[in-house]
Amino acid sequence: MTDLANSTMYGLAAALVMLGGAALAAGAVLSRERRLAGRQVHSEKPGRARRALAVTAAAVAFAAIVVRAGDGPATLAIAVLALAAALFAFAPSLHDSVLGENGVRRGWHVRSFAELEEWRLTGDHLRWKLHGEWQACRVPRERFAELRRRLSELCPTRESAFKD
């Protein structure tokens, strides 16, 4: 095996290990979301099309590098591509906003309603503090009254004094 093929194999193995770790972290966040926030009521996940385009471009570039390397391990390269594509497709994005039956997720951060630092319902959004900064997610109109009742029961002292 040539030095280039050896270094390609080690690089692919390292990429596979890092992607595996990232996939485990994403899986943990999504599992936490299901456990704390419950079934999704509404979600906004902007940028999915851009992410798909980025994955496709990266896969093509990566495939070209593997082909050019010659005798590199194609199976390992395919595993890296598949795991990268799955990770980009299913991992939380920093801009994702999810309202669940029992909580919320913004990016990689999940909170049950009872854990919210502070909250308020304004317009058609639930706004809540995460590490001292206000976040928001859209609330379907038909769920607004029910959500206000639940939040008032779970954490009435944390409703923001700010009013529209």
Mean pLDDT of 42-62: 79
Kindly indicate the confidence band of residue 5, based on its pLDDT and cuts at 50, 70 and 90. Answer: low
Mean pLDDT of 110-128: 93
Q: Would you state the pLDDT for residue 134?
A: 94
**How confident is the model over 94-107, as pLDDT tens digits?**
889 999 999 999 99
How big is the CA angle at 34 (ends 32 and 40), to the nearest 5 degrees? Answer: 135
Secondary structure (DSSP) of 22-57: HHHHHHHHHHHHHHHT-SEEEEE-TTHHHHHHHHHH
Are 41 and 113 within 8 A, CB to CB?
A: no
CA separation, residue 38 to residues 59, 92, 94 (Å): 34, 16, 20
Weakest-pLDDT range from 28-37, 39-48, 77-86, 147-156: 77-86
Q: Would you state the pLDDT for residue 4?
A: 61
pLDDT at 158 over 80: yes
Residue 53 DSSP class: H
Percent of the chain surpassing pLDDT 90:
49
